[in-house]
Amino acid sequence: MQRFVNMTEEEKDELVCDEVFAMYLRHVSKIVNENYYRTVIRFVLLYRQCLNECGWGKRREHFEKAYSGEEGCCIDEKDEVIKRLKAAEQLEEQ
């Protein structure tokens, strides 16, 4: 947690979900017993899975609602996160 406290706001904004979860789990591992930590890990992993399954659908739903009046509008053109993910996929393929 000390690393997080010392980060600038820009660095905090650039953190991805997995990094935040890892920092949280590391912090929790130092203050709870092993049995409880296993429960926390299960919760975090299931929560992350839920975010993946539900989150992308909600994101698409939001963009469709927000840009429903525009002709030929595509979420791929408006969503910066999807643009970055597609660019990263293209780089991996090369």
**For the segment 18-59, what is each residue's pLDDT rounded down to a tens digit?**
999 999 999 999 999 999 999 999 999 999 999 888 887 887
pLDDT over threshold 80, residue 15: yes
Q: What is the pLDDT of residues 72-86, one digit of tens each?
A: 566 666 677 777 877
Query: What pLDDT was estimated at residue 55?
Result: 83
SS3 helix, strand, coil % of the chain, rounded to 5? 80, 0, 20
Mean pLDDT estimate for the chain: 84
Domains of the chain: total: 1
pLDDT at 3 over 80: no
CA quadruple 82, 67, 60, 58: dihedral sign: positive
CA 50 to chain centre: 11
Q: At what angle do helices 17-29 and 34-66 cross, to 10 degrees?
A: 160
Instruction: Look up the domain containing 31 and give its range.
Output: 2-93
**Confidence tier at 70 by pLDDT (50, 70, 90):** low
User: H or E element: which one contains 4?
Assistant: helix 2-5
